[in-house]
Amino acid sequence: MKTTYRSIEGTFDILPGSASPVTRSEAWCHVEERIRAVMQRFAFAEIRTPVLEPLDLIARGVGELTDIVTKEMFSFERGSTNYVLRPEMTAPVMRAYLQHHLDQRPGEQRLFYMGPCFRAERPQKGRYRQFHQFGAEIIGSTDARADAEIIACTVEIYSALGLGSTLLRINTLGDAESRPRYIQALRAYFEPFSQELSATSQGRLKSNPLRILDTKLEHEAALVQSAPRLMDFVDPDSRAHYEAVKVLLAEVGVPFVEDPFLVRGLDYYSRTAFELESPEIGAQSALAGGGRYDLLSVSVGSRKPVPAVGFAAGMERLLLALEAADAPWPDTLPPTVFLIGLGESAEKAVFGLALRLRQAGLRATHGLRSRSMKAQMRTAHRVGAGYCVIVGDEELASGYAQVKEMTQGVQETVPFDVLPRYLLSHRT
């Protein structure tokens, strides 16, 4: 049947019992639980921020010229305020940190988050207009251990879920000065070849030369080979910081590869940048990404700079990776008890009985359609109930219910008032 309304393009419903983990609520619960567990072991505390944020916060935080801000935001005006549905969560978390003066709390702030984000891109596998991110931030530390811990935590979440075959790539982007200097050098290098570059690369030459570096065109890749190297422009302190991060990762046995061309798409990153990939989830292969963003706080209005590192990861991509890895999914637990009432007064009794069983801690349900015993029995079987409790006029008169165990099919007679105790002791 054709339905009048459907979920908006690039958004989807998450249903119980769905075949794919991406749209299966049981899979989401399971994964969210595991993520929280790892976050808590890293002593991260949960922060929840609004889905709606001021447009300026995102524009300034993420960067006016980034793709996200120039063409991917769901934004609208109401009264004199411009709103956005957040396209990511780091800038909002920093906003909350500043707004609530979390720097006054003892030590660094270790925060994690989970929630929906929005980007108006063309949907494809692993990329949706409403998608879900989780991530963690350590705010208030310049120490390389903070970087390494964030990276270790990212990796830990995937391995805790049984995803071994991920690839960690890391790089350093240098400080606030080195990046602009490098960008300038890149422009100077590519400018003479401008005519040979593709239209997109020519555009990037103006907007974001760093992006030319990960071109897929062969003749451009050749040019990139002898382009100036980022590392040559990185300041000594950043280099030392990068070395320290690498040593820490090596010490705890987190495998990584260095990728001198890894640049992140958001403006606020400096120094450490990293990305975790899965080769098995399609073209959108980045499971998670992150890095240091010492510059963000100032660009969203802080008078003094607040150093921070963090990562953000995509829930849907994690679920996709688990699907590719053939991970098993917990099912929704079937009801322990299915109550069948025959006739009006029995139905009424069953309603109350169900409530008492639930209060005793049992999962109990009953049909609400006054159908035949046979039909109700079939439903009980199909929903996977462990027991049927049958109540008709005879049972009402005698005070004993029929209790049928569904796998063996044996049936016993149990007084109403001992039903909770009986079912609690017999359930598996």
What does the per-residue mask of binding to RNA show for 407-426, with x meaning CB under 7 A? xxx-x---------------
Rounded Cα gap, residues 147 and 163, in angstroms: 22
Chain positions 21 to 60 lying near RNA, rule: CB under 7 A, are none
Which lies closer to RNA via its Cβ, residue 66 or residue 171?
A: 66
The CB-of-15 to RNA minimum distance in angstroms stands at: 11
Question: How many residues bind to RNA according to rule CB under 7 A?
Answer: 71
Q: What is the CA radius of gyration of the chain?
A: 28
Rounded Cα gap, residues 148 and 56, in angstroms: 31
Return the range that interacts with RNA (CB under 7 A); candidates 75-83, 172-180, 226-234, 306-314.
306-314
Which lies closer to RNA via its Cβ, residue 41 or residue 125?
A: 125
Which lies closer to RNA via its Cβ, residue 247 or residue 257?
A: 257
**C-beta separation of 49 from 93 below 8 A:** yes
If binding is defined by CB under 7 A, does position 67 make contact with RNA?
A: yes
If binding is defined by CB under 7 A, does position 240 make contact with RNA?
A: no
- Contacting residue, 76, 372, 418, 421, with RNA by CB under 7 A: 372
- Contacting residue, 34, 181, 371, 427, with RNA by CB under 7 A: 371
The CB-of-101 to RNA minimum distance in angstroms stands at: 27
**C-beta separation of 75 from 112 below 8 A:** no
- Contacting residue, 145, 187, 211, 239, with RNA by CB under 7 A: 211
- Contacting residue, 109, 141, 285, 297, with RNA by CB under 7 A: 285
If binding is defined by CB under 7 A, does position 142 make contact with RNA?
A: no
Which lies closer to RNA via its Cβ, residue 243 or residue 344?
A: 344
If binding is defined by CB under 7 A, does position 348 make contact with RNA?
A: no
- Contacting residue, 317, 323, 357, 420, with RNA by CB under 7 A: 317
Q: Which residues of 56-93 are buried (b: 16+ CB within 10 A; e: fewer)?
A: ebbbbbbbeebbbbeeebebeeeeeeebbbbbbbbbbb
Which lies closer to RNA via its Cβ, residue 2 or residue 101?
A: 2
- Contacting residue, 78, 303, 304, 374, with RNA by CB under 7 A: 374
- 3-class SS at 137? strand
Q: Order of strands, edge to edge, in the sheet holding 52-54?
A: 52-54, 81-85, 75-78
Which lies closer to RNA via its Cβ, residue 157 or residue 248?
A: 157
Residue 404: what are its φ and ψ, rounded to 5°? -110, 125
- Contacting residue, 60, 95, 110, 264, with RNA by CB under 7 A: 264
If binding is defined by CB under 7 A, does position 156 make contact with RNA?
A: no
**C-beta separation of 103 from 97 below 8 A:** yes
If binding is defined by CB under 7 A, does position 345 make contact with RNA?
A: no
Chain positions 180 to 209 lying near RNA, rule: CB under 7 A, are 200, 204
- Contacting residue, 21, 289, 307, 420, with RNA by CB under 7 A: 289
If binding is defined by CB under 7 A, does position 10 make contact with RNA?
A: yes
Which lies closer to RNA via its Cβ, residue 48 or residue 378?
A: 378
- Contacting residue, 146, 157, 245, 388, with RNA by CB under 7 A: 388
Q: Which two tokens stand for residue 38?
A: 């790892």
Q: How would DSSP label each residue in 209-244?
A: GGGGGG---HHHHHHHHTSPPGGGGS-HHHHHHHHH
Residue 126: what are its φ and ψ, rounded to 5°? 80, 5
If binding is defined by CB under 7 A, does position 282 make contact with RNA?
A: yes
If binding is defined by CB under 7 A, does position 373 make contact with RNA?
A: yes
Q: Which of 84, 86, 95 is nearest to 137 (CA)?
A: 95
**C-beta separation of 423 from 337 below 8 A:** yes
If binding is defined by CB under 7 A, does position 379 make contact with RNA?
A: yes
What's at 68, amino acid-wise?
Answer: I
Q: Which of 390, 393, 392, 379 is nearest to 414 (CA)?
A: 390
Residue 245, CA distances (Å) to 44, 81, 146, 238, 391 in order = 20, 42, 9, 10, 68
Instruction: Kindly give, in sequence order, each residue whose CB lies less than 8 Å from that of residue 157, ignoring residues fewer than 6 positions away.
Output: 34, 35, 38, 39, 313
Which lies closer to RNA via its Cβ, residue 344 or residue 394?
A: 394
If binding is defined by CB under 7 A, does position 175 make contact with RNA?
A: no
Return the range that interacts with RNA (CB under 7 A); candidates 29-37, 225-233, 349-357, 374-382.
374-382
Q: How would you class 280 by CB atoms within 10 Å of its CB: exposed for 0-12, middle for 13-18, buried for 19 or more?
A: middle
Chain positions 94 to 133 lying near RNA, rule: CB under 7 A, are 119, 121-128, 131, 133
Q: Which of 286, 305, 267, 350 is nearest to 133 (CA)?
A: 286
- Contacting residue, 390, 414, 419, 423, with RNA by CB under 7 A: 390
Rounded Cα gap, residues 33 and 358, in angstroms: 24
